[in-house]
Amino acid sequence: MRAGGAHYALPALAGTLLLLLLPMLATLALALFRFDSLSAPQWVGLEQLRALAADPLYRQALHNSLLLVALAVPLRLGLALLLGLLLARREPLAQAALAPVLLPVVLPGIVWALAWLWLLSPSHGPLATWLDRDTTAWLLSAPGARLSVILVLTLLVGELVLILRAARRLIPQRHYEVCALEGASPFFALRRVTLPALRPVLGLLALRDLALCLQLSFLPALIITKTGPQFATLYLPYYGWQNAFEYLRFGYAAAVNSALVLLVLAGLAGQLWLLRRWQPPR
């Protein structure tokens, strides 16, 4: 960026500072106090952060969150890549198919969660009726409830599809023409042309999805599964919210969220390290 145009980035930098960095620092500071919003804050230092290690519900929420990210992020990226490549074709059918892919993203999150609550309701949900023919109620089993949350999040890929669709269209067509002239298979073109060209975009989306999946897990856990059964779908964002607004333990909630921020930053650092070490095939 030229020095003369640096001022164009100031609004974005100001927004990042005011809406992201300052609240993050305030959360880290609040984690050092015991505060219930009804009395003055009490300094406790690192006591609440140390208490997380002995909290069985926090350990359960951490396990559930890591499992969710490990399963949902690859599934979301894989589905988005498949749809992005299919819908990148300049055909009327591909243009029309884009609408149902984008619909879940443009709907309010509460509407999307309530729709899935109806579909998976153990008493009258049409999808649950089909899934529960030979098993116990889908949402009343831990594997079924976890898979339900993953399914709900996996279908929210409209934005990812748009980005990958646009990135695929930017790949010069002459690369595929050379592959066709050489008699290469479509799989060879995918492996040698498409995926290496999309690697930076996929890396960026993977970094973004690590935090986004945790954020998106809040409404399904609140509306669809109620964090059950037996806390099988209790995730860190919900646990932080529950401590703050149900138990009025704002300091402890800040400790939960601080640990979540550190977890996400560690995950991002690990992904960046892997991306820098990975070399595209020649």
Q: What is the pLDDT of residues 193-204, one digit of tens each?
A: 999 999 889 988
Beta-carbon contacts of 162 under 8 Å, excluding residues fewer than 6 positions away, are: 84, 102
- Which residues neighbour 278 within 8 Å (Cβ) at sequence distance 6 or greater? 199
In the structure, how many helices (H) and strands (E) does the chain have? 15, 2
The answer to whether 44 and 181 have CB atoms below 8 angstroms apart is no
Q: Count structural domains, the chain.
A: 1
234 located within any domain: yes
Q: What is the pLDDT of residues 125-138, one digit of tens each?
A: 788 777 666 555 77
Residue 11 resides in a domain: no
> In this structure, is residue 60 part of a structural domain?
yes
Angle at 266 between CA 265 and CA 272, to 5 degrees: 90
Domain residues for 224? Answer: 55-277
Secondary-structure breakdown of the chain: helix, strand, coil percentages, each rounded to the nearest 5: 75, 0, 25
Question: What is the tens place of the pLDDT at every residue in 85-117?
Answer: 999 988 888 888 889 999 999 999 999 999 999
d(CA 125, CA 66): 29
Report which of residues 128 and 11 the model is more confident about: 11
Residue 212 lies in a domain: yes
Has residue 210 been placed in a domain?
yes
pLDDT tier for residue 281 given thresholds of 50, 70 and 90: very low
CATH of the domain at 230: 1.10.3720.10
pLDDT tens-digit readout, 207-263: 889 889 999 999 999 999 999 899 999 999 999 999 999 999 999 999 999 989 888
pLDDT single digits (tens) 45-80? 999 999 999 999 999 999 999 999 999 999 999 999
pLDDT at position 89: 86
With respect to residue 248, please indicate whether it lies within any of the assigned structural domains: yes
Specify if 19 maps to a domain: no
Residues 6+ apart with CB under 8 A from 53: 59
Rounded to 5 degrees, what are φ and ψ at 91?
Answer: -130, 150
| Structural domain contains residue 39 | no
